Amino acid sequence: MKRLIFSLLCILAFLTLFGCKKEDSSDTKKFQGTVAEVNGDTMIVEPDAGSEELKSADKFSVSISELPEAEKPLVGDSVEITYSGYIREIYPAGLDGITDITIIHKGE
């Protein structure tokens, strides 16, 4: 009986150690969108037509803390956001693991 329990614990430990997927930079995703609102240190971004993110939500709430200090987003700006690939299902939706936000085109 002790051998059976020990064997099961070894199998469980093996699955725990090697069954988890390691997150690396190849798991990151990027998408482009347009700034619809800016409220303090948060902006609402609407994904561009055809993006995968648009299938999950039409608006994303994003902290502007990843932008360089000199750049402040304005309504109408086009931005590119790099994130972990995970989308939080709230409204507006959230993005986990944001690593970069770049203003790629200033709005008019």
pLDDT per position as a tens digit, 43-69: 999 999 999 999 999 999 999 887 877
Decide if 79 contacts 33 (C-beta within 8 A): yes
What was the pLDDT predicted at 42? Answer: 92
Decide if 64 contacts 41 (C-beta within 8 A): yes
- With 0.85 as the threshold, say if the pTM is over it: no
What was the pLDDT predicted at 25? Answer: 46
DSSP 104: E
What was the pLDDT predicted at 68? Answer: 76
CATH assignment of 24-105, among 3.40.630.30, 3.50.50.60, 3.40.50.170, 2.40.50.140: 2.40.50.140
Q: 14: part of which helix (H) or strand (E)?
A: helix 2-18
Average pLDDT over residues 81-90: 91
All structural domains of the chain with their residue ranges? 24-105
SS3 call for 33: strand
Question: Is the model's pLDDT at 24 over the cut of 50?
Answer: no
Task: List the one residue out of 43, 51, 26, 27 whose CA is nearest residue 77.
Answer: 43
What was the pLDDT predicted at 23? Answer: 44
What was the pLDDT predicted at 54? Answer: 92
